[in-house]
Every structure is written in C-alpha cells, then in structure tokens.
Amino acid sequence: MHFELTEEQIAVRDAARDFANMELLPGIIERDNEQKVDLSLVKKLGEMGFLGMMVDPKYNGGGMDTISYVLAMEEISKVDASSAVIMSVNNSLVCWGLEKFGSEEQKQKYLTKLSTGENIGAFCLSEPEAGSDATSQRTTAEDKGDHYLVNGTKNWITNGGISDVCLVMAQTDPEKRHKGINCLIIEKGLDGFVVGKKEDKLGIRSSDTHSLMFGDVKVPKENRIGEDGFGFNFAMTTLNGGRIGIASQALGIASGAYELALKYSKERSAFGKPISQHQAIQFKLSDMATEIDAARLMILRAAWLKDNGKPFAREAAMAKLYASEVAMKVSVEAVQIHGGYGYVKEYHVERLMRDAKITQIYEGTSEIQRIVIARDLLK
C-alpha cells in the first residue's frame, strides 16, 4: 500500500486549486446572494476539462482516473460547492453512466458534447413522491412501438435549468416494479418538455435546481439506455459512482472551512494571545483535521476500488455517509471558531455551513447510505 499521488494527479489537483481561487472565488458571495449560475464559469470549467474528466479521450474526455477526479472535486468544493455539484452531476452521473452503459451511437451523439461542457447533463430520478423510495417512480414511459410517450414530473433536478440533455428514469411496466423502469435520454426543447420553477435553496445557491415536467413527450426508442427494464439498475450503479463525487464535495467543504478556521485562529487574539493558543480551539482544530483526514482516506479507497474494477458500492456509501457528516460538523465548528465574524457572509464559513447540509441529503440521504451499507454487510 502506498499513499503517494502520481505527478499527473498532483498536477490536476493544483490546476483545480488555482482555477478555484482565481476564477471561482471572485464574486462567489454575490452569486450565492443572487442565486446566480454564471454560465461563463460553467463554460470555463468545461474548457479546463473538469466536466468530462474520466471520459475516454475518443469521446473528448480527459481520460483521467477517479482519484484525479476526487482531488479536483475537493479543490473546487473548498471554494465553490455550487460549481462542484454542476461538475459532479455532469461527470459521475451523466458522462460516466453514458460511457459505461450507452450505445456507441448514444456516446457519439451525446457524450462527445457532454464531456467538453458544450452540453450540460442532468440526472432525473427524484420525484415529488419518490425521493429515497426511488423504486416508486410515477413518471411513465409508455411503449408506443418506435418511441416512448413520457408523462410525469421530476423534482430537485440539479442542472435542471442549464442542462441540454437529461437522463430520465420512467416506469414502462408497473407490474414489474423496478424491473419495469427505463432510463431515457431526453433532449431539452422537445414538445411537452417544460422546465418548472427554480428552487430557492439554503445552500449551493449558485447551482440551479428545478422541477421538470413531461407531458406526452415523444422519445425515440434508440434513446433508451440498455435493455428494456434496465433503468433502475442503471440509476443505482451510476449513483454508486456519484456518491464518491458527493463525498469529495463534502470533503472539500469541510477542508475549506477548516483551512479558513485555522488561518483565522492564528490571526485573532483574545485574552492576550492568538485564539489558536487556547486549548479549547486547539481541540476543535485537532478533531476537524483528524476527521477530514479519515474522510479523505475513505474517499480515496472507494475511488481506487472503482479505478481497479473492484466492487465499491459499500465503500462509496460509507465515504459519502462519513464525509457528509464531517462536512456538517466541521463547518459548524469553523463558524464557531470565527465567532461573530463567522456569522457574516464576508468570511465564507457561513456559506460553507449552508452548503454542507445538502451533502447529507442528495444522491441518497445518510439514512439511505446506512441501508446500502447494511444490505451489503448482511447479504
């Protein structure tokens, strides 16, 4: 076992760090206040190769490993967790799923543009009445011979407003329960496809989250991913990879908050010395650093397993469960160390604290991660 990163992995991490500090940090407070997705920044993310990092270069991707991806995710998330979720959904849920399970025609038509950021993708599983209970899909894809007729509503869709291509789970044969679900590639602009309201969120406010409505949307049969009834399996397998991305986002939020708290603790004096010299603060910093390290190791292990073709669902769920709990705890402590300054926007830690919460909810709540882990332990 060795813990050293390769030169390429270090270069990717450093490029992401520079990009985050030079391009994403300026204006971050305003974008958060205004809930603004800056499309020019999304375009730059694509130009830097951060939107299709793991895709084979023959489909215009970066051909990188999952370890490079999680390193980049951590660096981007330290500064801007909103850009990180745009990146995570496009890389791990959309590009990875399409590359692993899509047909050659689908990859040529869609993946080649998604991996560069020319197109942006969304992953549409959640519904008003099917969040954690994802097998209870109400959206239907009626088989009409050469096409499907799609009807229903998807909720809380990351990139819902800015996406060009959506991977939509829909029920074709309710009697077969989850084995009757299909995943369809649905392009924006089709008749009957309506982008619903934008959600006003607690955190990750400069990413967009929408509901999407489908009313008799005609989707060609060739846009189905995999065999008839493969959609739920597609969603679950893709989410296993996605959970490594969200774990890395949580890690980045935690390490960003910790670094700000560490710096502040050396600069701020109270009772005649820097607050970093008080044991109450030292104990907090020690716990934060230890838990961040543990989360990082769990994420790197899950990424390594994935890169080496080994089962990784349990380890991804563990990494996401743990890293998201650490993000919440560390960001709250970072605000506490900053005192009153931590409660105002200028010091960035209150935003990281708000951003942290969603990592315990999306791509499977902490409770769902425990179910995934327990089922794997007990099988």
Please work out the total of residues on this chain that contact ligand CAA, with binding judged by CB under 6 A.
Answer: 22
Rounded to whole angstroms, how far apart are CA atoms 40 and 101?
Answer: 30
Q: Are strands 121-124 and 165-171 parallel, antiparallel or unpaired?
A: parallel
Single residue of 60, 155, 240, 255 touching ligand CAA by CB under 6 A: 240
Which residue's CB is nearer to ligand CAA, number 334 or number 372? 372
Residue 232 Cβ vs ligand CAA, minimum distance, rounded to whole Å? 6
Crossing angle of helices 66-79 and 231-267, in 10° steps, is: 50
Tokens of 355: 């951003």
Site string for ligand CAA, 329-368 (x = CB under 6 A): ---------------------------------xxx---x
Single residue of 20, 76, 81, 89 touching ligand CAA by CB under 6 A: 89
> Does residue 363 have an active-site annotation?
yes
Residue 225 Cβ vs ligand CAA, minimum distance, rounded to whole Å? 15
Single residue of 236, 262, 289, 332 touching ligand CAA by CB under 6 A: 236
Contact positions with ligand CAA (CB under 6 A) in 170-199? 178
Rounded to whole angstroms, how far apart are CA atoms 50 and 84?
Answer: 10
372 binds ligand CAA (CB under 6 A): yes
Residue 277 Cβ vs ligand CAA, minimum distance, rounded to whole Å? 41
Residue 240 Cβ vs ligand CAA, minimum distance, rounded to whole Å? 5
The closest of 353, 352, 363 to 77, measured between CA atoms, is 352
Beta carbons of 251 and 288 less than 8 angstroms apart: no
- Residue the block writes with tokens 């084995």: 179
Catalytic residue chosen out of the listed positions 315, 325, 333, 363: 363
Find all residues with CB under 8 Å of 267, minimum gap 6, and list them.
274
Contact positions with ligand CAA (CB under 6 A) in 105-124? 123
126 binds ligand CAA (CB under 6 A): yes
Burial tier of 165 (Cβ tally within 10 Å: 0-12, 13-18, 19+): buried
Rounded to whole angstroms, how far apart are CA atoms 171 and 71?
Answer: 36
125 binds ligand CAA (CB under 6 A): yes
Neighbours of 321 (CB within 10 A): 25
Rounded to whole angstroms, how far apart are CA atoms 212 and 9?
Answer: 37
Single residue of 45, 76, 253, 313 touching ligand CAA by CB under 6 A: 313
Contact positions with ligand CAA (CB under 6 A) in 252-271? none
Q: Which residues pair with 210 in a beta bridge?
A: 157, 198
135 binds ligand CAA (CB under 6 A): yes
248 binds ligand CAA (CB under 6 A): no
Residue 85 Cβ vs ligand CAA, minimum distance, rounded to whole Å? 6
Residue 323, CA distances (Å) to 247, 293, 305 in order: 5, 10, 17
Which residues have a catalytic role annotated? Answer: 363
- Per CB under 6 A, residues contacting ligand CAA are 89, 123, 125-126, 132, 134-135, 157-158, 178, 232, 236-237, 239-240, 313, 362-364, 368, 371-372
